[in-house]
Amino acid sequence: MKPISIILSLIACSLFFACSKDSFTTKPQLKIKKINTNRLLFGQELKIEVEFTDAEGDVQDTIWYKRVSKVCPSESAVRAEDKLKIPNFESIKDQKGVFEFSFIYGKIQEGSIFLNPCATKNDTSYFKFWMKDKANNYSDTITTENIAFIK
């Protein structure tokens, strides 16, 4: 076998094993799965689905979210209410699931998180999410695309 053939075979094998690597790790993994809109009108609901995976399935601790405004800096502060206790549910090895966040822009609605409008201006914001599992393993922080807030 020629040296170039051996190198190509090794590269192909490396790519195969790298791509098929198990996605379940001790450190929780988060990924934005779905956002219902990137243009939010006053009074409209924003739904964000965050997918999680965890090797031990012990994700029932805390998840944080942070709105980062590009127009109104006061909306970018992390507040105590920006963390949520993850309810207890059955843990299984190699746990995979989805956290669903429901935000309402400029209106208070039970079951949804209130998003403050930016005074009299339109706004552009994005959201960050991160979590901690029962063993105190923190996920990486993930970020949504920009979302326009229209008054």
pLDDT of residue 133: 95
Tell me, what's the pLDDT at 22? 54
CATH pick for 23-150 out of 3.50.50.60, 3.60.150.10, 2.60.40.2550, 3.40.120.10: 2.60.40.2550
pLDDT of amino acid 77: 67
Q: What distance lies between CA 38 and its chain's CA centroid?
A: 15
**In the β-sheet with 113-115, what is the strand arrangement from edge to edge?**
29-35, 45-54, 95-105, 113-115
Q: What is the pLDDT of residues 90-124, one digit of tens each?
A: 889 999 999 999 999 998 888 899 998 887 789 99
Both tokens assigned to 55: 């090797």
Is residue 5 very low, low, confident or very high in pLDDT (cuts 50, 70, 90)?
very low
Residues 127 and 48: beta-carbon distance below 8 Å: yes
For the chain, give the DSSP string. Answer: --HHHHHHHHHHHHHHHHHT-----SS-EEEEEEES-SEEETT-EEEEEEEEEESS----SEEEEEEEESS-GGGGS--GGGEEEPPP----TTEEEEEEEEEEESS--TTSEEE---TTS-EEEEEEEEEE-TT-PBPPPEEPPPEEEE-
Provide the pLDDT for residue 44.
Answer: 96
Residue 96 pLDDT = 94
Question: What are the structural domain ranges in the chain?
Answer: 23-150
Q: On the CB side of 124, how many CA atoms lie within 13 Å of its CA?
A: 3
Instruction: List the beta bridge partners of residue 26.
Output: none
Per-residue pLDDT tens digits for 38-97: 999 999 999 999 999 999 999 999 999 999 999 987 766 667 678 899 988 888 999 999
Q: Which of 32, 90, 29 has its CA nearest to residue 58?
A: 90
pTM: 0.81
